[in-house]
Amino acid sequence: MKQSLKTKVIIMLLIVFTVGVLTLLLVGGTSDKLVYIEDRPWNYPKLIAPFDFPIEYDSVSTEHIKDSINASFTPFFTENNNVKETALHNIKSSLAAITTLKPVVRNMILSEVDTLFSNGIIDINTQNKISNGEISQIRIYSNNDINIKTVDAAQLHSHEAAYKEIKDSLSSRHIANERQVLDILYNNIKPTLEYDASKSEAQLKEELKLALAPHGSISKGDRIIDYGEMVTHEKYTILKTYERVLEENKVENAVKSLSRYGNIVLLFLILLSYYLYIRFLDPKVFSSLRSMVFLFSFIFIFVLIVYLISLLRPGFLYIVPFALVPIVVTIFFSTSLGYVTHMVVVLLSSFVAPDSIDFVIMQFLAGIIAIVSIKGLMQRSQLVVCAIFIFFCYTITYVTQCVVRYGSIDTIDWHVILYFAVNCIVLSFAYFVIFIVEKIFGFTSQVTLVELSDINNDVLRELSENCPGTFQHSLQVATLAGEAARQIGANVQLVRAGALYHDIGKIDNPAFFTENQGGVNPHDVLKPEQSAAIVISHVTDGLKRAEKAKLPQVIKDLIAQHHGTSKTRYFYGKALRQSATGNVPAEPYTYPGPNPSTREAAILMMADACEAATKSLSRPDEQNITEMVEKIIESQLADGMFKDAPISFKDISEVKKCLIKRLLTFYHTRVSYPEDVKPAMALDAEASQTEASQTEAPQTEAES
């Protein structure tokens, strides 16, 4: 089947989009992003310093140093002498105006106020910080004074504290006019120290800068780390500094550039190889736009999820159910395509996966286990069994890799085993993904075909009630076609389900088909063209019923193709005999087709015709059955019925043998014993009678 130009363009655009976006994600966006874990081996080639850079503290140490500096930092305050001098002048003048106040008391008050001002008076916010232990000392400098003094914060008083201290002192001396004196002091005692935010912040930055200064350096050409070397805490710190310098200074060296371009080429080659594999080894999938869109979309979405998880928590990649890829693709397409798709996803994901070699080996083994365990999926429980097998595969592989790499089981991270368990729990629900894919893309899984093969299905139950003969015919065709499909490696479940539904169009007119007739033949009163139209309509009627029952497209295709573009030979021959000129157009007597386009459709056509035809045999022995099968299939070949189906002559030969063998078991042929042997004359008479009845019959089983 050839692709249209539109299909080719859409597929190419899809591939270009996938390559472009994955290149940006896996290569372009992470060209300088190294994925590594502390206390695990370095999985990249030897890393050589392309430039000089300092060795800085790691993030944990940096935060610890910052906390320590912030806790011990001594802030700066400005001493406002103008406030002090003005306050002392106002207090002195106000006290002098109180004539009853003794000079000795006045001088005592002025002395205490001067002492408080000299120590420094602070605002209430600063006092709260001192009380909370946030400030233990402050640095004070006066206006235009370059000398800075450090003062114990305990010596400082807020406005309220200074006033209370003088009030207590005066109360103990019982001075005259105490209330008036206190009012004067309360109104004039004000903060003399103001917090200097700009100077404090500048000093704090300077101290942090000195404390966080690099404690070593790496020179250009030095070896930072080698492949397989353990990423110790010190190496981890150096690598983080290296990455930060790359990001801040936009430094890029020739080696790194070549590495990036090499990764781009590898990514492109992986996707190109996948495209070529489908193009030349799976042409049926390649010719289907729906299938190509699904495959590349599935790969893109899955790798995108892997990329996002790798950004957040690289270790969580063990939770991603990679085995879902081969399971889904195998169910809808083939084992080989499922495995190739799985490896494409794994190789693309290895661009961002830590321990990429171990990762690829682990997923390689899991993919094989997944495909083997779900081959011929018929029940949901198989997915649970598959998940259990994969869990043990992951666990054994991981433990083995730890022993090989580290030489000890002590290095096993048991959290990883838990991740494997979560992975497999998610995988066991793969049926929901299969269901969603079926609904979105119109694919049909084996599980769906098994469900459709249940004879209690509404359509099949109606067929058995209204057309018992056709129903029995369909059951036998399903058995024949299923065995033949198994013999040549075709889809057994598909051809069996198709065989059960291929004649559901006869439900509308059961009496017009010989297998349902009880002695009365309605074709006797019809013209050949009318009879042919009724017989041919069972295909179109079947498609209508299939549409109404929402049967999958693959089943509808089998209904449409099981007669191909063959003719209703009996009625066409009858029309020729009745025609005076012998010239009758063939179109009214030809099925609408199309001819079989799959091996399953070809098998169904052969099984349907052979099963119906052998019922007309008076003696269904090995010779007669063999001759009948050979004659029918050769006639179909001569009419070009299989020219569009990917079925070989060898396959057709195998199908013939299988049909003959199965038909013989249907009719229980056995050796004739003496008492079973009829006289020769009786046999000749019976044969003559059978031939006459077949000649007079309006339609044979084969044509129905």
As a whole number of angstroms, the distance between CA 268 and CA 272 comes to 6
Distances in Å between the Cα of 245 and the Cα atoms of 37, 49, 252, 327 are 19, 11, 10, 44
CB-CB contact of 151 with 140 (8 Å) = yes
Which position has the higher pLDDT, 451 or 669? 451
- For the four alpha carbons of 627, 632, 635 and 636, in that order, the dihedral sign comes to negative
**Which of 285, 75, 90 shows the shortest CA–CA distance to 196?**
75
Give mean pLDDT, residues 638-651. Answer: 94
As a whole number of angstroms, the distance between CA 323 and CA 338 comes to 10
pLDDT band with cut points at 50, 70 and 90 for residue 33: low
What pLDDT score was predicted for residue 144? 56
As a whole number of angstroms, the distance between CA 123 and CA 143 comes to 18
What pLDDT score was predicted for residue 675? 47
What pLDDT score was predicted for residue 242? 82
158 Cβ contact partners less than 8 Å away, ≥ 6 residues apart:
121, 122, 123, 124, 126, 127, 191
Q: Are residues 493 and 529 in the same domain?
A: yes
Chain centre distance of CA 1: 30
pLDDT band with cut points at 50, 70 and 90 for residue 693: very low
As a whole number of angstroms, the distance between CA 597 and CA 641 comes to 9
Which position has the higher pLDDT, 481 or 583? 481
Q: Are residues 491 and 637 in the same domain?
A: yes
Torsion on CA atoms 669, 674, 677, 678, rounded to nearest 10? -160
In the DSSP assignment, the letter for residue 134 is: S
Q: Is the peptide bond before 594 cis (omega within 30 degrees of 0)?
A: yes
Q: Is the pLDDT of residue 648 over 90?
A: yes
- Model confidence pLDDT, tens digit, residues 317-334: 889 999 999 999 998 988
Q: Are residues 507 and 637 in the same domain?
A: yes
Task: Read off the pTM.
Answer: 0.62
With vertex at residue 403, the alpha carbon angle to CA 385 and CA 320, rounded to the nearest 5 degrees, is 40
CATH code: domain of residue 542: 1.10.3210
pLDDT band with cut points at 50, 70 and 90 for residue 48: confident
Give mean pLDDT, residues 206-222. Answer: 82
Give mean pLDDT, residues 670-674. Answer: 48
Q: What is the CA radius of gyration of the chain?
A: 46
What pLDDT score was predicted for residue 136? 85
What pLDDT score was predicted for residue 499? 96
Residue with tokens 């993904």: 433
As a whole number of angstroms, the distance between CA 551 and CA 555 comes to 7
Joined together, the tokens standing for residue 187 give 């109104």
Residue 619 lies in a domain: yes
As a whole number of angstroms, the distance between CA 217 and CA 682 comes to 112
**Which of 412, 427, 397 shows the shortest CA–CA distance to 320?**
427
Q: Which domain holds residue 572?
A: 457-696
Q: Is the pLDDT of residue 694 over 50?
A: no
CB-CB contact of 542 with 507 (8 Å) = no
Q: Are residues 506 and 386 in the same domain?
A: no
pLDDT band with cut points at 50, 70 and 90 for residue 357: confident
What percent of the chain stands above pLDDT 90? 36
What pLDDT score was predicted for residue 124? 85
* Final residue of a structural domain among 441, 467, 493: 441
pLDDT band with cut points at 50, 70 and 90 for residue 22: confident
As a whole number of angstroms, the distance between CA 411 and CA 403 comes to 8
- Model confidence pLDDT, tens digit, residues 54-94: 887 777 778 888 888 888 888 998 888 888 888 888 888 88
What pLDDT score was predicted for residue 482? 95
Using CB atoms within 10 A of its CB, is residue 155 exposed (0-12), middle (13-18) or buried (19+)?
A: exposed
Q: Are residues 261 and 149 in the same domain?
A: no
Give mean pLDDT, residues 11-33. Answer: 72
Residue 522 lies in a domain: yes
CB-CB contact of 590 with 566 (8 Å) = yes
As a whole number of angstroms, the distance between CA 479 and CA 188 comes to 111
**Which of 351, 153, 335, 197 shows the shortest CA–CA distance to 263?**
351
Q: Are residues 437 and 475 in the same domain?
A: no
As a whole number of angstroms, the distance between CA 302 and CA 422 comes to 17
Q: Are residues 432 and 494 in the same domain?
A: no
Residue 210 lies in a domain: no
Alpha helices in 446-551 (DSSP H): 446-452, 458-466, 468-488, 492-501, 528-548
Residue 37 lies in a domain: no
Residue with tokens 């661009």: 351
Joined together, the tokens standing for residue 702 give 């084969």
Tell me the range of 249-263, 463-477, 681-695 where mean pLDDT is highest.
Answer: 463-477
Q: Is the pLDDT of residue 645 over 50?
A: yes
Residue 318 lies in a domain: yes
Region of poorest pLDDT, from 78-82, 634-638, 687-691? 687-691
What pLDDT score was predicted for residue 381? 77
274 Cβ contact partners less than 8 Å away, ≥ 6 residues apart:
299, 340, 341, 344
**Which of 401, 306, 305, 419 shows the shortest CA–CA distance to 352?**
306
Region of poorest pLDDT, from 24-28, 290-294, 653-657? 24-28
- Model confidence pLDDT, tens digit, residues 585-632: 989 999 998 999 999 999 999 999 999 999 888 888 899 999 999 999
Q: Are residues 497 and 586 in the same domain?
A: yes
Residue with tokens 């070896």: 223
48 bridge partner residues: 223
| Three-state secondary structure of 647-697 | CCHHHHHHHHHHHHHHHHHHCCCCCCCHHHCCCHHHHHHHHHHHHHHHHHC
Residue 514 lies in a domain: yes
What pLDDT score was predicted for residue 256? 54
pLDDT band with cut points at 50, 70 and 90 for residue 418: very high
CB atoms within 10 A of CB 472: 13
* Final residue of a structural domain among 386, 416, 441: 441
Pairing type for strands 76-79 and 137-142 reads parallel
- Estimate the share of the chain in helix, then strand, then coil, as percent rounded to the nearest 5: 70, 5, 25
Distances in Å between the Cα of 440 and the Cα atoms of 290, 331, 342 are 10, 15, 21
What pLDDT score was predicted for residue 45? 64
Chain centre distance of CA 10: 22
The type of residue at 594 is P
The type of residue at 657 is K
- Enclosing H/E stretch for 150: strand 148-152
Residue 206 lies in a domain: no
Give mean pLDDT, residues 472-499. Answer: 94
Chain centre distance of CA 361: 20
244 bridge partner residues: none
As a whole number of angstroms, the distance between CA 104 and CA 87 comes to 20
Q: Are residues 416 and 479 in the same domain?
A: no
What are the b/e assignments for 65-77, b being 16+ CB within 10 Å?
eeeeeeeebbbbb
Region of poorest pLDDT, from 233-242, 414-423, 530-539, 617-626? 233-242
Q: Are residues 570 and 629 in the same domain?
A: yes
For the chain, the domain total comes to: 3
pLDDT band with cut points at 50, 70 and 90 for residue 690: very low
Q: Are residues 434 and 480 in the same domain?
A: no
What pLDDT score was predicted for residue 199? 87
- Model confidence pLDDT, tens digit, residues 371-391: 998 876 667 778 888 999 999
- Model confidence pLDDT, tens digit, residues 151-207: 888 888 887 888 888 888 777 776 767 788 888 888 888 888 888 888 889 989 988
What pLDDT score was predicted for residue 688? 35
Give mean pLDDT, residues 290-315. Answer: 88
Q: Are residues 618 and 502 in the same domain?
A: yes
Q: Is the pLDDT of residue 409 over 90?
A: no
Joined together, the tokens standing for residue 598 give 């799959």
Q: Is the pLDDT of residue 653 over 60?
A: yes
pLDDT band with cut points at 50, 70 and 90 for residue 699: very low
* Final residue of a structural domain among 397, 412, 441: 441
Average pLDDT, the chain: 83
Q: Is the pLDDT of residue 335 over 60?
A: yes
What pLDDT score was predicted for residue 462? 94
What pLDDT score was predicted for residue 46? 73
Residue 51 lies in a domain: no
